[in-house]
Amino acid sequence: MQAVCVDKPGGPENLLLRTIPRPRPKDGEVLIKVHATALNRADLLQRRGLYPPPPGESDIIGVKRGWRPDDRVMALLCGGGYAEYVAVPEELLMPVPRHLTLSQAAAIPEAWLTAFQLLALVAQVKEGEVVLAHAGASGVGTAAVQLVRLFGAVPVVTAGSPEKLKMAEELGAAAGFNYKEENFAQAVHDFTGADVILDCIGGCNWEQNVSCLATDGRWVLYGTMGGRVVEGDLLGKLLSKRGHLLSSLLRSRSLQYKADLVRAFSHRVLPHFSDQAVSLRPVIDSTFNLEDIAEAHRHMEANKNMGKIIINVTPQKQETQC
């Protein structure tokens, strides 16, 4: 099969398309022919040698989804998505909502399961609470905005351009703040403060995060795109708010945890992708072919994308929605 390999850590030019053996499914796994996958920030880190796959998982990059001829499925992966075939534990499969194309479905598993985990399991968001999501036009951000609305809470976002803020507001954000042009902490304060913060930025935002966090609020850290080092009175200021600092990663979780997460998501959220009254939708920024994977990585590294970047793995005729 064709797959994207990395011989040595480095830039996008180190992504090589090669022919390698198909994976052999273990007991309890399903071999899936991959139609499309989607880029994640973790893929960029893995390419650079900074985020290796968990022990025993494929070292082929790609943490998304695939399909098999009999069933249209999508799956949560630890790796292996940048290839024509991938072996997946059957507990991590989900049916593709009938009206979505396979390319649209590729944008769901990692981003939406991450957002669902952060909101429902980690922060335990309650109806009426205000949730601040950084990177509101990212894959996780666009999913979080829609999930916050689904759970009866109020989403507000930060982003770095008017276009990204407009997209987030069209998806349901009650307000959006351009972190490049204004102090988002003051803007969130004026909006009543944040009961929950979903933070993929980290270090450079800590003071504004604590400033706009409501008393007894939950600050959920799931990335450090803005740095890992914190200088200053973080603990004192967080203590004065009685704030909760929580952190979570999905990739390193156990198979049982992921299976329970997929089951809960399939029950609470997946039906709403087909519900006309709610109409959740994955947001796609752009589509690349597998042989253009380096360009796709460069596009993400430039922070130009709004929503998910999709990689078409298996060429086929134009898709139609069912």
The tens digit of pLDDT for each residue in 236-286 reads 999 999 999 999 999 889 999 999 999 999 999 999 998 666 689 999 999
This prediction has a pTM of 0.86
Predicted pLDDT of residue 57: 56
Question: What gap in Å lies between CA 3 and CA 20, rounded to an integer?
Answer: 7
Per-residue pLDDT band at 45 (split at 50, 70, 90): confident
Residue 64: predicted pLDDT: 46
- Is 234:210 a contact under the CB 8 Å cutoff? yes
CB atoms within 10 A of CB 197: 30
pLDDT tens-digit map of 89-135 = 999 999 999 889 999 999 999 999 999 999 999 999 999 999 999 99
pLDDT confidence tier of residue 53, bands split at 50, 70 and 90: low
Q: Which amino acid would we find at residue 198? A: L
Domains of the chain, start order: 2-111+253-318 (3.90.180.10), 123-247 (3.40.50.720)
Residues 34 and 38: their CA atoms lie apart, in Å, by: 11
Q: What is the pLDDT of residue 191?
A: 83
**AA letter at 162:** P
Under DSSP, the state recorded for 314 is S
Task: Look at residue 260 in the predicted model and tell me its pLDDT.
Answer: 96
